Amino acid sequence: MYRADNQGNITSYAVYDSAGMIIKRVDVTGAAHANVSTPHVIEYGRNKLPDGTIKVQSPSTKLAPRPAKSDEIP
C-alpha cells in the first residue's frame, strides 16, 4: 500500500506479511522521526498475547527509525 502526492510521486509505502500485518513503513518524504531524516524506515514488531494471539507492536515502543536502504526507495 502506498501514498502519493498530487504529482503521483510516492511519499510513503507499507509492507505487510502474509497475515496482513504491517512489517514496515517507508517514509520517502516528510518530517524526520527521532532525528532520522527521510527517507527512513519504521519497523513494526510483534507481540504474543497470553492466549497465543499475535498482534502488531506499535512502532512507538520499538527502536528509532533507520535510514532507508537504496532498494527500499521507489
Q: Are 25 and 38 in contact (CB under 8 A)?
A: no
Counting every residue, how long is the chain? Answer: 74
Please report the DSSP string for 28-66 in residue order. Answer: -SS--BTTBPSSEEEE-EEEE-TTS-EEEEPGGGSPPPE
pLDDT at 61: 60
pLDDT at 18: 95
In a domain, 61, yes or no: yes
In a domain, 39, yes or no: yes
pLDDT tens across 5-28, in order? 999 999 999 999 999 999 999 999
In a domain, 29, yes or no: yes
In a domain, 7, yes or no: yes
SS3 assignment, position 71:
helix
In a domain, 49, yes or no: yes
Using a 10 angstrom Cβ sphere, with 0-12 exposed, 13-18 middle and 19 or more buried, the burial of residue 53 is exposed
pLDDT at 58: 82
Q: What is the pTM of this model?
A: 0.86
pLDDT at 63: 73
In a domain, 19, yes or no: yes
Q: Which domain holds residue 17?
A: 2-68
pLDDT tens across 28-61, in order? 999 998 899 999 999 998 999 999 999 998 876 6
Number of domains in the chain: 1
In a domain, 73, yes or no: no
